[in-house]
Amino acid sequence: MFKKLLVLATVFFSISLSAQKFEISGKLIDKESKAPLEAATVFAESIRDSTLVTYTITDKDGEYSLIGRTSLEEVNVFVSFVGYIPYEQRVSLKNDRIIKLNPIELEFQIESLGDVLVKARRAPVTIKKDTLEFNAESFATKKDATVEDLLKELPGVEVDAEGNITVNGKPVNKILVNGKSFFGGDDPTIATRNLTKEMISKIQVSDTKSDSDAFTGEASSGENKTINITIDEDKNKGVFGRLSGGGGTDDRFEYAGLVNYFDNDLQISALGGGNNINSPGFSFGEIEKMFGGARSISVSSTGAFSVNGRSFGFGSGIINSRTGGLNFADSWGKTSEISADYFYSGSNNYEETQRERENIFPDSRYFTESYSKTEGNTDRHQANMKFTTKPDTTWFIDAMPSFSYTKAENSYESNSQSFNENGDLINQSESDNQTFRDGKTFGGNFNVNKKWNNGSSLSLRVNGNLENNDSESFILTSAETFGDDGELTDRNQYTDGKQENNNVNSTLRYRLPVIKDKFFLNSQMGYGNDSRDDKQYVYDLNNASGDFEDFNVEQSTDFENVNEFYRPELGMDWNTEKINVGLGVGYVHRELTSSDNLRDFNFSQDFDALEYDFNFSYRINQKMSIYSYVSRRNDAPGVRQLSPYIDISDPLNIVQGNPDLKPSNETNFYINFNNYDFQTRSGLYAYISFSKFDDQVVSRSEVDNNFVRYTTYDNVDGSYRAYGNISYSKDIELDTLSSLKVGLGLYSNLQRSVNYNNDQMYNRDSRLVGPTLNLTYKLGDFLELRPGYNMRFNTVEFDINSFEDYRFTRHEFRLRTITNWPENLEWQNDLTYFNNPNVGQAFQQSTVLWNSTLTYSILDNKGNISLKAFDLLNQNTNTQRQSELNYVEDVQSTVLQQYFMLGFSYKFNTLGKKGEIRDRNFFF
């Protein structure tokens, strides 16, 4: 073994020595006008096998500098630019490694069409007006690489551990395959972790637009990106997927499967799985490739998951989950497309939580210790469909109906005790609740768009939901207060609940061109109606009969609430090649009505408000841009906040609405800057956001001598929130085999909250600063190291002397390693250190979580045997300190404990007889 390592090290060292640094520089100009050509691609390839050596993009002066390392004595230099005849020149590096070429004159290709590139050697990067295009073959990866592996090698593209993608600092929120959504389009990683690089021709990046905006030609904000993965036609027919399963210690298990069938436009997919290791139907290894972290995945320190709004379990604790799904997509003729999907998700969960809370008041404070236990079961079915059609070039219609059904059972036990500053017991409570719920939702979106030859367009957009929830609850509670006015309240109740929520929103929009393709006037009318019927009938236990038959009017509710608004708006857009400006001013008239069928609590209120939007974007050059917006929004109080009904369902927290509330207004300002330099392989991204709140609705509470809380609502001014971030990334080629990627970031948050505490108004100012450092070191296909560190330093200050200011800090260090040696063996490690030095003495302050996976490939890399270890050091905890408006709290809850698992997976792929799906069995 030692001799093999010595030989391997010698080979790496020899290759590194033979590769010498070189630099080829020059300038590109138009042959006729002699003007410099910006954003042209210049790249160097080996003469023998056309392997890409390095590449760059010309700057605004047409200048370029090809910098790289190679042992070659000659290279071919190519120049590629949209609409121009490609250029090729052989350059010798034998005698001089620093070369300055004469200015290169490119000749315009008259026969080319607009943005059609003349057929020649494909450039690694092509910059068009609004699209950044990468040639997949130009970027070196492992032979069995996925699309995600390819994305990680592209300049300006970042992919985090959950699969979230950013391009030049902007998040990717849509993934397409040959211009179509893949598996519904909700989870990008289903495509990026299942499609392989060998299948891919190009990766195209553009600004995200809705289907309607793309059809009518409206400019996008540019704040989100869309990636289109293009597959060569000869590789777009066949079946691919994987089946896997595993079993481990403590009765841990997992099983999963994903099968896809492609036939050009036709896509059929099926997935299914289950486990009891806190993942949504797949292990963490499988989820990364088969169901994906997705653009909106949330992973807690407990290992709980939520994927694009689909909840798997109750968010924490130990979860036993099961998942299944089907997807279908196809084209109908040349004018229509249809897609449909069905998902089933089910889970059982168990969680215990311990809390220690310090409640803070102007003249006193008290302390609460609580314990809770939750057990539950949830089953959810969801079906979606999308149909789009273009009867001709002037019409675009799409319809997206959806249906979901949820059935849940949940039991909750809790107890709490509150003490004054002297340690005397002031109140205590116990509860034992069981809830059963059935919920059905039918909704959809419908859009019709018409455009005319002069550039004008008319759009109608309608969306709505019909929701029905039935519930039954059995509640057994006991609340006791001590002192001179001590009281014991026992309740044994049954609640029959029924909710019906119906809402519809529609917008009719007309766009008129004043100056063709540049200046537009917009007018639109919006309408919305949200109707909610909420019945909660409470029955007390009749001790004589033993049945729940005594109707409790005080705790029962029967509300009918309607929130209806009209919103006319006028606006304008100014669009040029570099500048986009948009302005919209709207007037909102809102009517809120509420009636209580059990009491004489009926009211109706009207609200009027002015809203506006202003956005501005400036593309300084092809690599650098600025975007900003200012907006003002009006939000009406909730009906429960307005209703004078007194809610006494919690004896220790009595709540009553305030019918005199005014609507709140929020003014927002945002600006960002992003720049990626292809020549230096470095990027700088920054943004600042500020929000100011007027007439904000806040809780106004008073606490009596027994710490019973009485809460209502009020309007306040003076609250604001500001946050910003700056990040820098740099790719460094150390030699021909090794590279280093550096990422630096600094996040900051400043917030002022104006609130009441025991009827005294106060300001709470919080500041958060969080630096981050991430490194990625690669040594060929042999080794990959990813250390990272982030810190959160939080301070909270009050303008009341009786309130103590406080500070707390959280540190997180993570190290990920991947080793591929010897052949067919991959060893992955994920080591994370958490430190919460400010949590209470009763809680664990530091945790080291070490997960490790050994994977051995068999059957020509189609099969994998894996041995996974979760929490090798057996230290996993879920401890955190959190601060709210008038309390500080330490929380610790149930987490997944150490286990070991042996698994097997088998993958198959017949797409063009090429491509293999790479295994990455990371789990957190």
Residue 95 has what pLDDT?
83
* Highest mean pLDDT of the ranges 95-104, 555-564, 567-576, 734-743: 567-576
Residue 821 has what pLDDT?
86
Collect all residues with Cβ–Cβ distance below 8 Å to 730 and sequence separation of at least 6.
Answer: 680, 681, 682, 683, 741, 742
Residue 311 has what pLDDT?
36
Q: Which of 226-240, 275-289, 297-311 has the lowest mean pLDDT?
A: 297-311
For residue 569, is pLDDT > 90? yes
Helices (H) and strands (E) in the chain, counts: 6, 52
Average pLDDT over residues 274-296: 49
Q: Is there a contact between 632 and 666 (Cβ–Cβ < 8 Å)?
A: yes
- Could you tell me what percent of the chain has a pLDDT over 90? 44
Q: Which of 234-248, 578-592, 784-798 has the lowest mean pLDDT?
A: 234-248
For residue 293, is pLDDT > 50? no
Average pLDDT over residues 98-102: 91
> Cα(first)–Cα(last) distance of the chain, in Å?
31
Q: Is there a contact between 26 and 48 (Cβ–Cβ < 8 Å)?
A: no
pLDDT band at 250 (very low <50, low <70, confident <90, very high): very high
Average pLDDT over residues 153-166: 84
Q: Is there a contact between 220 and 208 (Cβ–Cβ < 8 Å)?
A: yes
Residue 292 has what pLDDT?
31
In the structure encoding, which two tokens stand for residue 178, read together? 């040959």
Average pLDDT over residues 279-306: 36
Backbone phi and psi for residue 543, each to the nearest 5 degrees, phi listed first: -65, -30
Average pLDDT over residues 314-341: 84
Give the Å distances, CA to CA, from 188 to 237, 313, 384, 489. 21, 22, 17, 52
Residue 301 has what pLDDT?
34
Q: How many CB atoms lie within 10 A of CB 545?
A: 9
pTM: 0.80
pLDDT band at 185 (very low <50, low <70, confident <90, very high): low
The residue with greater pLDDT, 813 or 915, is 813
- pLDDT, averaged across the chain: 84
Average pLDDT over residues 441-458: 94
Residue 97 has what pLDDT?
84
If phi > 0 it is left, if psi is from -120 to 50 it is alpha, else beta; for residue 130 that is alpha
The residue with greater pLDDT, 600 or 500, is 500
Residue 801 has what pLDDT?
76
For residue 15, is pLDDT > 70? no
pLDDT band at 303 (very low <50, low <70, confident <90, very high): very low
Q: Is the peptide bond before 822 cis (omega within 30 degrees of 0)?
A: yes
For residue 283, is pLDDT > 70? no
DSSP string, 408-440: EEEEEEEEEEEE-TT--EEEEEEEEEEEEEEEE
Instruction: Give the model confidence (pLDDT) of 671-722 as tens digits.
Output: 999 898 888 889 999 999 999 999 999 988 888 877 788 899 999 999 999 9
The residue with greater pLDDT, 916 or 331, is 331
Residue 221 has what pLDDT?
67
Give the Å distances, CA to CA, from 854 to 1, 86, 276, 851, 916. 18, 48, 21, 11, 19
Query: What is d(CA 719, CA 701) in angstroms, rounded to the nearest whole number?
Result: 18
For residue 608, is pLDDT > 70? yes
Instruction: Give the model confidence (pLDDT) of 718-759 as tens digits.
Output: 999 999 999 999 998 887 788 899 999 999 999 999 988 787
Residue 18 has what pLDDT?
54
Q: Is there a contact between 769 and 805 (Cβ–Cβ < 8 Å)?
A: no
Query: What is d(CA 679, CA 683) in angstroms, rounded to the nearest whole number?
Result: 11
The residue with greater pLDDT, 233 or 500, is 500
For residue 286, is pLDDT > 50? no
For residue 41, is pLDDT > 50? yes
3-state secondary structure of 2: helix
Query: What is d(CA 127, CA 204) in angstroms, rounded to the nearest whole number?
Result: 10
For residue 203, is pLDDT > 80? yes
Q: Which of 119-128, 643-652, 792-801 has the lowest mean pLDDT?
A: 119-128
DSSP string, 172-228: EEEEEETTEESGGGS-HHHHHTTSBGGGEEEEEEEE---HHHHHHTPPP-SSSEEEE
Closest CA to 663 of 605, 583, 712: 605
Residue 132 has what pLDDT?
87
Query: What is d(CA 218, CA 212) in angstroms, rounded to the nearest whole number?
Result: 9
Widest pairwise Cα distance in the chain: 105
Q: Which of 87-91, 700-704, 823-827 has the lowest mean pLDDT?
A: 700-704
Collect all residues with Cβ–Cβ distance below 8 Å to 134 and sequence separation of at least 6.
Answer: 124, 125, 154, 202, 203, 204, 205
pLDDT band at 297 (very low <50, low <70, confident <90, very high): very low
Collect all residues with Cβ–Cβ distance below 8 Å to 630 and sequence separation of at least 6.
Answer: 612, 613, 614, 615, 667, 668, 669, 670
Instruction: Give the model confidence (pLDDT) of 115-141 as tens digits.
Output: 444 445 788 888 877 788 898 888 888
Domains of the chain, each with CATH number or no CATH: 19-120 (2.60.40.10)
For residue 46, is pLDDT > 50? yes
For residue 490, is pLDDT > 70? yes
Give the Å distances, CA to CA, from 489 to 141, 414, 480. 68, 16, 6
The residue with greater pLDDT, 687 or 917, is 687
